[in-house]
Amino acid sequence: MNALVEAVLAQRGRLVGEGFDHSGQQTLRSVLARAACLGDRLAGAPYPHVGLLLENTPEYLWWLEAAVLAGATVVGVNPTRRGPDLLRDLTHTDCALLVTETRLLPLVADLGLAVPVLVVDGPGYAETLAPYADAAPPSRLPAPETRLLLTFTSGSTGAPKAVVCSQRRIARAGDKLRAQYGLSPDDTGYACMPLFHGNALMGLWAPLLLAGGTIALRRRFSATRFLDDVRDFGASYFTYVGRAVSYVLATEPRPDDAENPLRLGFGTEAGAVDAARFAERFGCRLVEGYGSSEGGCNLRQDPAAPPGAVGREGSGPDDDLAVVDPETGAECPRSRFDAAGRLANGEEAIGELVNRTARAGFEGYWRNEEAGAARLRDGWYWTGDLFHRDAEGWFRFAGRSADWLRVDSENLAVADIENILARWERAAAVAVYAVPDPVAGDQVMAALQLRPGADGDVAASFARFLARQPDLGTKMPPRFVRLVARMPVTGTHKTAKTGLRADRWDAVGGDTVLWRPYERGAAGELSYRVLTAEDREKLGALFAEHGRSALIVRNQVPRS
């Protein structure tokens, strides 16, 4: 039985959004027409792959569900990609057809694509679909193992990898969330995250489709429209990624914010502080999940989890999760905390999260066997993410594998520092990352987006805040702080740290950089001041003195 095919054919829910309200039957007619069109257009292609370069509109879901029925594979194209990178995404995934819209057509107009392009709001589109207006379901419906998606990883370095997702995997992920959160035909899921990303498809589209609920679309995420949309559409459930929650919290509070139909938000990387603020302001619980695009390791969410924990067992019945030393494969000692809540043995307790069940849910990367082999080593699935696990079995996220900092020979986890800095009432968004130390190892650097009206002596206020944090270890305070007008994010609203790392403490745009010179204030508090051009010259000389100038050669990496 193919649960996804059955749900598409049933079409029990509505599709609503900015200026449209489609019944299930209207959607089914649109899906059947496009499925028949795909059957003809992709019949002679080496691979039945269709690229969707669309914002969150009904057309996206109609073509996606058409692919479900036609046995085709959708490539979710990221509209923040440009030029050669975008061309590489389309050619690497063997797209035989591209579906886009007029506003995004310029992104591919000069790429020299050798595949046909359908423009959903362009001339001739209605005529293209007209012959399929009364199409019936395909005579042969696809099996559950049919490849449905090639979804790109959201890594910030190197070319993104295309993760293979079958219809079975999407259906299983959706059904788990449907059951876990009690989603029903009475629920409306608000899809404000981009549909080209797995979060929106596996976390919202699939569970609401299987539940027979309504799906509400926002073309592009808008923090200022969030609450109005929730009320207008009667949304009870939504998904989020990265900084989206921070942006909503940064909007002007209203006395009636809690008067809304929301009961649950599901996503990643909101952080414990923002989750608490969101629940207090909007009366809606946020459930933090952990899972990779690859599907090899997902932690089951548990309402009983202590602050900062994301679960203590995998979401699959046969999962065997562990935190291990990536060099030896030995399981790390359980984490311990001191009286102030500080991780007391991070050096030995933090390691890489693995699933010791062979393959788990990972179905591979498209045309990248080497990367797939790196994920599956010694019969285990390696996430590439840092965790530690306490004596009670709770897993706590400690950062990506690139988020280690080594300060004065001590290993630190970025996530721990970010969680502390997020408590600062003036901060709307926080990012922490490593920059080189002039002598050895790293220094901690933070980018802060301040809330509106957060003026005054920011440096002194930040230093006072740090001094009040009982769990801030002595190596954790940032050496450098970049004040940004808006936190740079990827197309999936995760913080884009690559450009920030490349900027280091350089003067960029209108940003102000504060720094903590190598001395403390007279009162024993940390002391910050503006980093000047003279300071930058002295830092450069210090790197040269220790033969480390190559580490601060300017890399031309744009912020996203």
**Where does the chain hold its CATH 3.40.50.12780 domain(s)?**
3-165
Helix, strand or coil for residue 396?
strand
Residue 292: partners with Cβ closer than 8 Å, 6 or more residues away: 298, 383, 385
pLDDT in tens, 432-479: 998 888 876 789 999 999 998 766 789 999 999 999 988 787 788 999
Quickly name the fold that domain 318-402 has.
Answer: Luciferase; domain 3 (2.30.38)
Q: How far apart are CA 421 and CA 409, in angstroms?
A: 22
Question: For residue 66, which of 101, 105, 35 has the smallest C-alpha distance?
Answer: 35
Count CA atoms within 13 Å of residue 449 on its CB side: 16
pLDDT in tens, 466-498: 999 887 877 889 999 999 999 988 777 778 887
Strand 351-355 vs strand 321-324: parallel, antiparallel, or unpaired?
antiparallel
Averaged pLDDT, 498-507: 88
**Where does the chain hold its CATH 2.30.38.10 domain(s)?**
318-402
Residue 27 near residue 62 (C-beta atoms within 8 A) = yes
CB under 8 A, 24+ apart: contacts of 313-321: 313/393, 314/355, 314/360, 315/176, 315/291, 316/357, 316/360, 316/361, 318/357, 319/355, 319/357, 319/360, 320/355, 320/356, 320/357, 321/297, 321/353, 321/354, 321/355, 321/356, 321/395
Helix, strand or coil for residue 187?
coil
pLDDT in tens, 375-394: 998 889 998 888 899 999 99
Q: How confident is the model at residue 357 (pLDDT cuts 50, 70, 90)?
A: confident
47-74 CB burial, b ≥16 within 10 A, e <16: ebbbbbbbbbbbbbbbbbbbbbbbbbbb
C-alpha distances (whole Å) from 559 to each of 494, 496, 536 are 12, 7, 21
Residue 502 near residue 203 (C-beta atoms within 8 A) = no
Residue 152 near residue 161 (C-beta atoms within 8 A) = yes
Give helix 3-10 / helix 24-41 axis angle, nearest 10°. 120
408-552 CATH, one of 3.30.2320.50, 3.30.300.30, 3.90.870.10, 3.40.50.10890: 3.30.300.30
Strand residue runs (E) in 123-221: 147-152, 162-166, 188-191, 214-217
Query: How does DSSP classify residue 314?
Result: B
Per-residue pLDDT, 555: 47
Question: For residue 70, which of 96, 47, 99, 48 has the smallest C-alpha distance?
Answer: 48
pTM of the full structure: 0.78
Quickly name the fold that domain 3-165 has.
Answer: Rossmann fold (3.40.50)
Residue 426 near residue 461 (C-beta atoms within 8 A) = yes
For the record, the structure tokens of 170 come out as: 């999407």
Per-residue pLDDT, 557: 46
Helix, strand or coil for residue 430?
strand
* pLDDT at residue 363 tops 70: yes
